[in-house]
């Protein structure tokens, strides 16, 4: 029985839910990639939720999480209007800002 293989073209089914979730997360995070570097202004900070929005110089808004900030910025002191440089990367929910640092 150990030498049995599924017919060609058949998908393997993962029986262990934890393994399946781990594989799914690896594929999800593997798809995130750096798109480009941009400059913009902090538009809005939602301090109690730990995130905010940046308006890039091209007028598009990008979501950022407090964990995406470089050590040059203190999330708790952001009020809006600060100039920042950031990377734009694709996430499962669309483009977002990462590696945000003071311009």
Mention every residue, 6+ apart, whose C-beta is less than 8 A from residue 48: none
The total domain count for the chain is: 1
Across 79-99, average pLDDT: 91
Q: Is residue 45 part of a domain?
A: yes
Q: What CATH number is given to the structural domain containing 61?
A: 2.40.50.140
User: Which residue in 28, 29, 25, 86 sits closest to 52, CA to CA?
Assistant: 86
Domain of 58 in residue numbering reads as: 34-102
Q: Is residue 83 part of a domain?
A: yes
Across 55-60, average pLDDT: 92
Q: Is residue 77 part of a domain?
A: yes
Q: Is residue 9 part of a domain?
A: no
Q: pTM of the full predicted structure?
A: 0.64
Q: Is residue 19 part of a domain?
A: no
User: Which residue in 14, 29, 35, 100 sits closest to 63, CA to CA?
Assistant: 100
Residue 1 confidence class, pLDDT cut points 50, 70, 90: very low
């Amino acid at each position: 029985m150990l030498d049995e293989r599924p017919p060609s073209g058949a998908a393997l089914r993962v029986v262990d839910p934890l393994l399946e979730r781990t594989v799914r997360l690896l594929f999800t995070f593997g798809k995130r990639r750096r798109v480009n570097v941009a400059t913009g202004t902090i538009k809005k900070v939602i301090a109690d939720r730990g995130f905010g929005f940046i308006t890039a110089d091209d007028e598009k808004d990008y979501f950022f999480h407090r964990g995406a900030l470089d050590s040059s910025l203190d999330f708790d002191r952001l009020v809006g209007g600060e100039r920042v440089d950031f990377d734009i990367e694709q996430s499962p929910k669309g483009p977002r800002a990462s590696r945000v640092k003071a311009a």
